[in-house]
Structure 1
């Protein structure tokens, strides 16, 4: 191993860097001083091994040796009171979060313009040349950095003084989900940077699941009787949004970094490199993983050649890509070209052609969703499309079937857009007469099918068994009635055993009923009954959200509850009255009225109330202490942003998402977004941290944080 100041651990001073490893003394024979020293050495060595394995693909020790080091560190931390805040052992799990909180990005995470043909790439180069000339640069003096366009989940990661402090998904480019604890478990992402990083470094990367790891993980899911993931991208995205970090830690996620979003050198840190190429070299010094398939080229012809070679090598890569990114190298010229509202002018994605195959439609089945929507699905003669076997494809709705003219027996083209979601763009050979006759009755309950534009719905409502299972799961969700122990498998069991034929039947269950079922015991049965008892007096907004009314999510349910105050007043409201509520337009009002007027749904509501489930009225007037004021919230608060907004709105204020001249206060929690702070400065809007905000509310006799 080459000695370097950028390493986490030097083998001449750390005995755990190279094999053979020394033997460990018994834990009980160590003093606290010895344990603290050994833990410090082990952490440094493990970080070094993580870097050599994930970043440099050049491991120093065997997997067995690594496991010995890791297990020993965990034993020391369990046996002695040694600090664990920045320990690698924290990457194997953590405390589950209640929800994914929205956070503003330090800098915008923009999209990138793209095309699938070379002429569009050459046109991009011409725009770059013209832009450089207009800005006073030599248009012939330019280089491009070429790199793969990863097919994973884009994230922002923030380091301060070299230490990992936050991660967020891309979201809408301005605001994303806080996934700090989830990303902390990904071994490829260092908790502490190497070398001499700047005071603040904000980097953009892509979380993905390697192909081999994806296949192995799907085999494990099938063996456990679980539904396999459709593709690696869905697996990565679904995993990162898990609320329990320990679940994320169990899944084989990896990551690459490819861009700097912000670089603050601080008092004595290194200056930001002048080129994108040198920024990637800085990633190597800091121990941030990046792909080695990056090239620096002198003209657009070489960039196009890079794309063609990468396309040819695509199937041999261990990770998914759907094109290449071509970006101007010099950062000064990038700044001169600037960006549009959605994308930089100095970068372009040259996408790969879509992967298509042809196959035969063997059957068409119709699925019934929780809202009663009927979705036709084409059952295909299995065909490999881009390395993934496709056997089922959604046909979306009856109008799509009619437009395609597709029926059983036809030969169809299967297309995978972005290598993710397969669909049928055309029939290549009609072997049937006409198109599939969409059923006029629900295939599950036999209720009439109603058409709304291109869509079809079962009119059975909560009386339809297919809708019921999903309705029960929806009723039990955290943002609805929050009933623990009612996952999909248990709901299916309750239905199969005939214990739950309708939503109100949940409240007829007994401990004896549940304890008699396979896989249940007295404790789990009692826990569910207790949770059901606790849900008999839900807040009105959660009751409405739990009903699963189409177009009514938690936010709209909250607006309805605050507008009408109690359930009976809402049940009697006509469409015109409903439309007077914030967030309720004609379409939503019609959906609410249609749901509440359906005989099966009204009967289910009545039977719930007969069983003692009575939604609690809310105060329709919260006071006018904040009347006329407008607030904007940014960063992480001790409560969710929705709760903070609801609090000020309940007392007469407005809560908006962007700062303007009409904004009275910007409330800035932890890790606030830079753009809102800048807008507040430009508009001379006062900025309050959470403590100052709490004092402001106290002056108006309003408690913070809000309580139920």
Structure 2
């Protein structure tokens, strides 16, 4: 589907407006209404459009900044060192390209790349906090804010027991870490909020952010927040107490020595292949931890190389975030159709603008039934949040109504069902008094073409008779030619019946007949399923 320049411009304006609305709710008003993956997905789409159409990029686009300004309710504090966010990558090819770019920059600066190594750490999905110590005493804890100015949340951070109030040495220190909420604590808090008729937190990150951005420290103290510290921005007055780390691995070691809680899941890798092996291993294990993980942070281990490479306007050149496949993302519903099952039940299906979610490209999502469409308030053309976990069929979980342009179209379930069935449809009744309608439509004619096709497709499926070569298109062709009307007709087919048909030749016809012959002897369980 092609779009005009005006349509693309309008889409970009809608994206900017919605991203900014979510940013204000999350970062300024402490009222998060969307998962981070939703925000990130919208940002990714905007970045891609700006890349393709740079002449349409707005100078005030959210891609040109880091975060949001702090609330006036908190005292503002200026960071001693600017706070950056990592650039993201999502596949091995991008990882290799990033390493090649890093090596080219190092070569230009005369740096040795023959023994280049990377410290790979878990990317904790929490709230970034900067801790400042003077002469070994905690004086300030601040949020990242816009990267230059943050919010002073010292009163809440002091309630986290893993954060030391006093260091073992009287040094000046600025460290960076992530505040997070254990999964079991999130369940407890949400159960409590449900009892009080309060909206539950969407995830642990939102709960951690909501806890830290409270004026009353008793709220944070009542929640079992934790914090991992992973980097040092400033280290002064340490000469007689400890050495200045020359590698990222040494940084993590010193942080542990100083009494900070450090995530012990990190690894020194000497190649992209080693990084990929670690990354792949943790995709399946990420949900086994008590804290949320959304990727692997890759940093050049040598601190001198880090300093030489420096930063872009938004992110460090010496580090990158290798994000795990999203289990939620945003896309557009381009159409809604109806499919019929072998029992005649009619199910609406959303046809999506193809999008990557949970490691696969998704172009369709189930809508279950008409009641689900009405609950979502879904229209054709809507921007939606799609969720996919494991092998579960992708589903639409939210409609982003603020992204509407006015050109969206309502979907008429009954009309679409009649088109599929080739006749009228019914909505069955349930209950002893036949007074309550079920949520599903059915083809009224049990012998409709659509129903018979699905019954035949079910019969030959892998879990059924397992007849190779009988896909949906072939079944439709056999029905159109009058060769197959019910399941028994498959076993009456001969090579001469099919070899003249489109998609068939002598060999493919022989293979199909052989597959049908094999199916004449089948396990009882498969026969019953068919």
TM-score range, shorter chain: 0.5 to 0.7
- How much has 1:99 moved relative to structure 2? 2.1
Aligned with 2:373 (options 362, 367, 379): 362
Give 3-state SS (helix, strand or coil) of 1:146's partner: strand
Aligned with 1:399 (options 396, 404, 412): 404
Alpha-carbon RMSD across the aligned residues, in angstroms, is 3.3
- How much has 1:325 moved relative to structure 2? 0.6
Aligned with 1:191 (options 151, 161, 165): 165
- How much has 1:141 moved relative to structure 2? 1.6
- Give the number of aligned pairs: 305
1:403-414 correspondence runs (5 A) = 407=411
1:365–1:377 Cα contact (<8 Å) kept? no
- How much has 1:177 moved relative to structure 2? 0.8
1:113–1:349 Cα contact (<8 Å) kept? yes
Question: So what's the TM-score if we normalise by structure 2?
Answer: 0.53
Between the aligned partners of 1:116 and 1:98, the Cα distance in structure 2 is 37
Question: Would you say 1:124 and 2:129 are equivalent positions?
Answer: no
Match of 2:187 in 1: 215
- How much has 1:390 moved relative to structure 2? 9.0
Aligned with 1:164 (options 129, 133, 138): 138
Aligned with 1:148 (options 118, 122, 132): 122
- How much has 1:193 moved relative to structure 2? 2.4
Aligned with 1:201 (options 173, 176, 196): 173
Aligned with 1:305 (options 265, 277, 292): 277
- How much has 1:108 moved relative to structure 2? 0.9
Match of 1:233 in 2: 205
Match of 2:28 in 1: none
- How much has 1:384 moved relative to structure 2? 6.2
- How much has 1:338 moved relative to structure 2? 1.2
Between the aligned partners of 1:409 and 1:166, the Cα distance in structure 2 is 58
Question: So what's the TM-score if we normalise by structure 1?
Answer: 0.40
- CA deviations 1:125-157 (Å, max 9, x no partner) are 111211222222221121100011111111101
Between the aligned partners of 2:121 and 2:411, the Cα distance in structure 1 is 43
Relative contact order, higher structure (CA 8 A, sep 6+): 2
Give 3-state SS (helix, strand or coil) of 1:235's partner: helix
Match of 1:108 in 2: 82
- How much has 1:223 moved relative to structure 2? 2.3
1:550-629 correspondence runs (5 A) = none
Give 3-state SS (helix, strand or coil) of 2:373's partner: strand
Moved more, 393-402 or 300-309: 393-402
Change (3 A) 1:359 1:318: farther
Between the aligned partners of 2:114 and 2:310, the Cα distance in structure 1 is 19
- How much has 1:271 moved relative to structure 2? 3.2
Give 3-state SS (helix, strand or coil) of 2:401's partner: coil
Aligned with 1:260 (options 227, 232, 235): 232
Between the aligned partners of 2:413 and 2:184, the Cα distance in structure 1 is 34
Could you tell me which runs of 5 or more consecutive residues in structure 1 were left unpaired when the two chains were aligned.
1-96, 367-375, 411-429, 434-708
Between the aligned partners of 1:149 and 1:139, the Cα distance in structure 2 is 25
- CA deviations 1:169-201 (Å, max 9, x no partner) are 01111111111111111122121224x3x6111
Between the aligned partners of 2:406 and 2:160, the Cα distance in structure 1 is 43
1:202-601 correspondence runs (5 A) = 202-265=174-237, 268-356=240-328, 358-360=365-367, 361-364=372-375, 393-397=398-402, 399=404, 402=407, 407=411
Could you tell me which runs of 5 or more consecutive residues in structure 2 were left unpaired when the two chains were aligned.
1-70, 329-356, 358-364, 420-530
Between the aligned partners of 2:229 and 2:89, the Cα distance in structure 1 is 23
Between the aligned partners of 1:292 and 1:386, the Cα distance in structure 2 is 31
- CA deviations 1:589-632 (Å, max 9, x no partner) are xxxxxxxxxxxxxxxxxxxxxxxxxxxxxxxxxxxxxxxxxxxx
Match of 2:334 in 1: none
1:679-698 correspondence runs (5 A) = none
- How much has 1:210 moved relative to structure 2? 1.4
